[in-house]
Amino acid sequence: MNLRAQIEALETLATLDASLAKLEAELRREGDVLSDKKSQIKKLEERFESTRASVGDMDRTRGELLQDARHMSLQMERSREKLARCRTERELNATQREIEELRKLYRDRELEIEKINGLAEQARTEMDGANSEREALMGDLAKDHQVTNRLDSLERDVSAAREQRKELVKVVPPALYRRYEMIRKRRGSALAWTFQGTCSACHISISPMSFQRLRRGEDFDQCPSCQRILYYREEPAPDAPDEQAAGNESSK
């Protein structure tokens, strides 16, 4: 495989890698938005279930307290009946103390029931709020079919690009590909070109000897500054600024 063919293969691979990186970044962003909403929905559902269990416990406790209060109310009625039958002062005092103690216990139960009613109402309000938030997010997800479709499209594009990349890698000599990958993982991009003696990636001047060797098409070189694989290009890309001007601008 001659040098020109290797350059073309690397250029195609570099272009594909740049496109694939953008696709993967967009896929992550879109996926994160969707995952975040699903995560919020799950947390709201857990909060709803936890609160509902607490309300169930409070309802059971309130039922037990109500039963105690009814029992105490019956006991007070019996004590009042007993009070009417008292014949001695001692019996009268004992029955009155019994009634007073029952009244105190009954008031305590009423206060506990009132407190539980307040907490249960607060919990039910929280349940309603969590359920409303969940329904709103579920509605958003239902409307976000465009996001889902976009994710599906991105996944197909990424998959196709990865398959295309596998085929391109087969064309690049293994040693050159390993070098390319090592630099790409470290720098984000691995390829640079020179037209008038400066690196297109970092705009640093290369030595005249290296430039002449690249110009003769003898081999690749490596930028002494950014370490990218360097090759000679007959003319700059149509959309690229003049290399020498860029190099002069960076030296100011």
The verdict on 60 and 109 lying in the same domain is yes
pLDDT the model gives residue 121: 92
Domain boundary among 89, 121, 152: 152
Coil, helix or strand for 238?
Answer: coil
The parent domain of residue 204 ranges over 173-250
- Which of 195, 178, 180, 175 shows the shortest CA–CA distance to 227? 180
> Which helix or strand (DSSP H or E) is residue 176 part of?
helix 174-187
pLDDT the model gives residue 113: 92
pLDDT the model gives residue 146: 65
Residues in contact with 22: Cβ distance below 8 Å, sequence separation at least 6, in sequence order? none
Residues in contact with 164: Cβ distance below 8 Å, sequence separation at least 6, in sequence order? 16
pLDDT the model gives residue 241: 44
The verdict on 212 and 245 lying in the same domain is yes
The answer to the question of residue 159 being in a domain is no
The verdict on 140 and 191 lying in the same domain is no
The answer to the question of residue 205 being in a domain is yes
The verdict on 136 and 178 lying in the same domain is no
Domain boundary among 93, 120, 152: 152
The verdict on 125 and 52 lying in the same domain is yes
The verdict on 190 and 234 lying in the same domain is yes
Domain boundary among 152, 187, 210: 152
The verdict on 142 and 54 lying in the same domain is yes
pLDDT the model gives residue 219: 87
Coil, helix or strand for 240?
Answer: coil
Residue by residue, pLDDT tens for the chain (252 residues) are 688 888 888 999 999 999 998 888 888 887 887 788 888 888 888 888 999 899 999 999 999 999 999 999 999 999 888 888 888 889 889 989 999 999 999 999 999 999 999 999 999 999 999 888 888 888 777 666 666 777 788 888 889 998 999 988 988 899 999 999 999 999 989 999 998 899 999 999 999 999 999 998 888 999 999 999 999 988 755 554 444 333 333 333
The answer to the question of residue 24 being in a domain is no
The verdict on 142 and 236 lying in the same domain is no
The answer to the question of residue 229 being in a domain is yes
The answer to the question of residue 77 being in a domain is yes
pTM of the model: 0.54
pLDDT the model gives residue 251: 34
pLDDT the model gives residue 230: 95
- Which of 136, 120, 135, 113 shows the shortest CA–CA distance to 52? 120
